[in-house]
Amino acid sequence: MKTIVIALGGNAIIKKGESETYATLIKNIRQMSKAISPIVKKYGAVITYGNGYEIGNLLLQNEISRKKVPPMPLDILGAESQGLIGYPLEEQLINELRSTKKNVVTVLTQVLVDKNDPAFRNPTKFIGPFYSYSQYQKLKSKYKIRKDSNRGYRRIVPSPKPIKILEFRTIENLNRRGIVVICGGGGGIPVIIKSGKLKGVEGVIDKDWASSCLGKNINADTLLILTGVDKVCLNYGEKNEMKLDKLNVKEAKEYLKEGQFPPGSMGPKIEASIDFLKKGKKVIITDIEHAERALNGKAGTLIRR
């Protein structure tokens, strides 16, 4: 059975403008589970997911309650978010797969990064709530904070590149036994090796890069990246916008150089696709509504070597 890594975008879990309530979380996860269940039934599926809204809320809870409850570091909050999303996703998938013999399990996932990664010297990833200028003045000695456009000030943290998914052999073994594995939530928990021991670090790993790393580790055939658009576009949002049905690695690299895929949106997905194709066979980028059709070659953007 072919192995597919399905990378679920965080915006599918809580959509822009929606209230970030438990009811909304469950409703959206139920819809996602319905959409991907035909794929999960047919293939050996390993599912990763984003955690943007959830990690932001946990950071906000940290700030609000810090005078009464000791705040936790970002790696611990990342682990919390894996349970916060992984549990209801597992539950809803089990409901969708009850007519089959497939089991579902969520794996708490650590991702090894290089302690000398340049990202630690130059953090760029915005996370958490927006702060006013007065709040920024109070917090700037404690955190690295930068202005995020004209929306206010936000904390920035490192976003190092993943080297290895530490639990990949367990994930691979479960996948071979036909078990659906949910893992790599929010890009995984970043850890380094210090004095021969594992140590969690504050940072955020890009979910698509982590999905690529995992796919290579477990020798997956396909990386299915589900995002907010049905196809990768050139000149996105412009009058001359052009949707791409197919793309090869050489073309993808050229478009990246031209600036067609910005760092804050499609750029990391294309870079992660190129990385995955060093070992994997194909990458498909589409939205969740077209997931099954895209896998059958009838929608989405196909990327090959």
277 to 208, 222, 268: CA distances (angstroms): 13, 9, 14
**86 an active-site residue?**
no
Catalytic-labelled residue, pool 207, 215, 217, 280: 207
**Closest by Cα among 163, 53, 189, 50 to 108:** 189
Catalytic-labelled residue, pool 102, 216, 231, 269: 269
Tokens representing residue 37 in the block: 């269940």
**102 an active-site residue?**
no
Q: Crossing angle for the helix pair 207-217 and 267-276, nearest 10 degrees?
A: 10
Catalytic-labelled residue, pool 10, 128, 215, 280: 10
SS3 of residue 32 by DSSP: helix
Distance of CA 28 to the CA centre of its chain: 16
Catalytic-labelled residue, pool 11, 57, 62, 175: 11
**161 an active-site residue?**
no
Catalytic-labelled residue, pool 34, 41, 103, 125: 125
CA angle 110, 114, 119 (to 5 degrees): 105
**125 an active-site residue?**
yes
Count CA within 13 A, CB hemisphere, residue 225. Answer: 31
**207 an active-site residue?**
yes
The residues carrying an active-site annotation are 10-11, 125, 207, 269
